[in-house]
Structures are given as C-alpha cells and as structure tokens.
Amino acid sequence: MLPPMRFVATGDSFITRRLPSSETLWQLADIVRDADVRFTNFEVLTPGDAFPNAVSGGTWAKAPEGVIGDLQSLGFNMLSWASNHTLDYAYDGLANTAAALDRSGIVHAGVGRNLAEAAAPRYLECPQGRVALIGICSTFHETSPAGQTRPDMQGRPGINPLRFTTTHTLPREQLDALSAMAEASGINDGLKMRIKSGFAKPPEAGTVMFGGHTFKEGAPGTTTEANKADVTRTLASISEARRQGDYVLVSLHAHEALGTDKAIPAAFLVDFSRACIDAGAHAVIGHGPHVLRGVEIFQKRPIFHSLNVYGTKRTFVNDQPDAKVFSGDSAADQAPFTTPYPGMEKGDLLPDFIDAIRTGREPLVSARDVFRVMDICFAAWEATNQGRTVQVQYLL
C-alpha cells in the first residue's frame, strides 16, 4: 500500500513576463505548496537570443528565463513543455529553454534531443515515494516531433508526439459524388504523381482522398485514431516508470475536439488516456484548448481531459506580424497592435526625409522620435533582464 500523497495540477502556464508580487498571487501559492506533487504545463519558451522559426504554434511564445523561477517560487516542482509552441524559436530556442530548465532544477518532461529522450519518464523524489512524469503532445507542426536515433544517424530534437489519423464517412451516394468532384477538379493530382513515383502509398480500397482528407463509406461523421507506434511507445514509458517509480503521471497537450465543441475531447484522446490508465498510469493531465473539460474517473483513477490556463490575463505577446494583448481565452479577447509608427509604412522614411528637405517642412519622423523609440527599447531590455520595472529615461 503506497503512502498518501497530495497532488495539485494546473493547465497551461502561458506567462510571457515576470510575475509581480501580490497578495492574490501568494494566496494561490499557498494552495499549490500545500501539495507534495505540484504540476503545471509550461507553454512558453525561454529562447534567449534564438531566432523565431518560420512557423509558430499560433504565436511565438517567448518569456524571460526568470519566469521559470517565478513558477518555482509559486511552488511548482514538475512540468511538461511538449506543446505546439516548443519549436517556436527553432532548435536553438528549444536547446536554450532546456538548458534554463536544467539550471533551475525543476523536473521537466516531453521534450528531448531525440525521441528516446523526449519520451523518457522524468522523476520527482518525494518523502512518500518517487513520482514519474511522461509528457506527450498531439497538436504540433509536422517539423516538431523528435527523431529516433539510429546507428547511422543521430536523433532530432523535438517533442514526444502523439500522431493521429482522421477519417470522414459519408453515405455511398455522397461518397461517389465526392470522388467525381476530386477527379473533375484535379485536387488529387499531386498525390497521384507521388504514388506513381513511389513516394506515397495508394489509398486503401474503398477510400476516397480529397485534398489530403480521407473519406470512406458509412453514416455521416468523423472518427479519429491515435498512431499505434506512438501509443506503444508511451505504454512502454509507463511500464518503465512503474518499475522505476511509485506513481506515474502522463501529461497530454491536445487541442483536438469532438466536432466543433471545444469542451469535448476528440475520441482518440479519450481512448489514449484510458489506455494510459490501463497500462498503470495513476492520472492523465490534459491541457491545451484553454478551457476546462470534463474529469473522468476511469479504473478509479482520474483523467483530467483539460485543465484551464494558469497565469495572468492581459498577457502581451510580441507576435508576427502584429503584437497582441490577450485579456481572455477567446478570439474576441485579442487586441492586436496594427497602427504603423507613426502612420508610415516601412521603406517610406527616407523618401519622406528627402521631400522634407526639398519643401522645407518637418519630416514626419524626426530624430527626436527615433531616439525616444530607442530609449523605450533600452528600458524594456533592462526591465526584462533585471526582472523589475524600469523608468524610461529620454535623452532628447
């Protein structure tokens, strides 16, 4: 009989700036610290000077390294960081974040220099026992999964992936009509060429492909199924964690929903979570859609299909092409900064300056304006590095 252990978990910590000290924050910290195992999902990076990737997980999620210490000050002692944002700043950003997490000493899982490392359990030592954490993610760009090490090739850094397939079903009459539309439009011509060249496999008998989507005959609907290799790998990690530890937690970052209802997980997520419990996991901690989904008790053990966001509202994200301030979780809560400075497009400064000399007027952007922007940038840089408020000192 294992000794009792208190456990607390939150959803995504999407915190892009240092947390200020406040009474409310420390009241939350008291709740977190009251537990032995204290989990959060770290959905940002501390990439340092790494360049942004060509694609992001929806925005380029960046934070100063001090945010990790802030989370530890609030009491958290283990986290996963396999998410749709893990490669926002390419491989250098991943490596810099991993190094920052290692320096902090916090237990972190779900990401690694290769697939074996990303899928490996990580352990938290507690007086009541050893707690294993396995991190995995189903929502990601195709370049994000870690690669397997081979005798002739090193592995690729990335996340521990949970891939899945989606199959749509239609009655025979509608399926035939879709097949005719595919032929008439040529939407599958690229696939046909890849099959002919040997770079793709032909679809299964009875399957209609339409622009990368798979359709079969059946009652109208959609089914999803987790990748068997990814499930097998995860169950093997759980088995290892059971041998090496006393408790096993699985962290699952997933946005996929059943239909258009964000509050209901896709079927493959439910099946995967139950398989984890059957394999010996003590709890599955879901997060990702930034909404609170249901809690399922399966085999007398909890599956949190999604915990809500943990952090501050009014989060500023220096997105591309426009920065945004988030005051909530829905699209309506995003306030983009789209006003050009100061009402001019990039590339127009020099022609405006020449015209100002010719006509004797003041340029739209003066030297004073430029220096004031630089002063603000220097103050922001100093505040980020020192983790404190810095007053802007205007030189002009």
C-alpha span between 251 and 136 (Å, rounded): 6
Burial of 88: CB neighbours in 10 Å, binned 0-12, 13-18, 19+: buried
Kindly state whether residue 113 falls inside one of the protein's structural domains.
yes
CA distance 232 to 199: 26
In a domain, 333, yes or no: no
The answer to whether residues 239 and 186 belong to one domain is no
Domain of residue 206: give its range.
Answer: 172-217
Residues 52-79 have pLDDT tens digits of 999 999 999 999 999 999 999 999 999 9
**Same domain as 70, residue 212:** no
For residues 206 and 314, state if they share a domain.
Answer: no
- Answer yes or no: do 179 and 155 share one domain: no
Dist. CA 213–CA 32, nearest whole Å:
44
* One domain for residues 39 and 184: no
CATH number at residue 294: 3.60.21
Top-ranked range on mean pLDDT: pick from 55-69, 197-211, 222-236, 296-310: 222-236
Is 59 inside any structural domain? Answer: yes
Tally the domains of the chain: 3
Over residues 136-149, the pLDDT tens digits come to: 999 999 999 999 99
Same domain, yes or no, for 269 and 125?
A: yes
**How confident is the prediction for the chain on average, in pLDDT?**
88
Q: Are residues 272 and 247 in the same domain?
A: yes
The answer to the question of residue 243 being in a domain is yes
Q: Is the pLDDT of residue 185 over 50?
A: yes
Domain identity same for 189 and 126: no
| Residue with the two structure tokens 């299909």 | 305
Q: Tell whether 84 and 129 lie within a shared domain.
A: yes
* Of 98-102, 313-317, 341-345, the least confident: 341-345
Residues 56 and 130 occupy one common structural domain = yes
pLDDT of residue 389: 66
Over the stretch 250-293, which tens digit does the pLDDT of each residue have?
999 999 999 999 999 999 999 999 999 999 999 999 999 988 99
Reduced to 3 states (helix: H, G, I; strand: E, B; else coil), residue 4 is coil
- Give the position of tokens 């399966």: 298
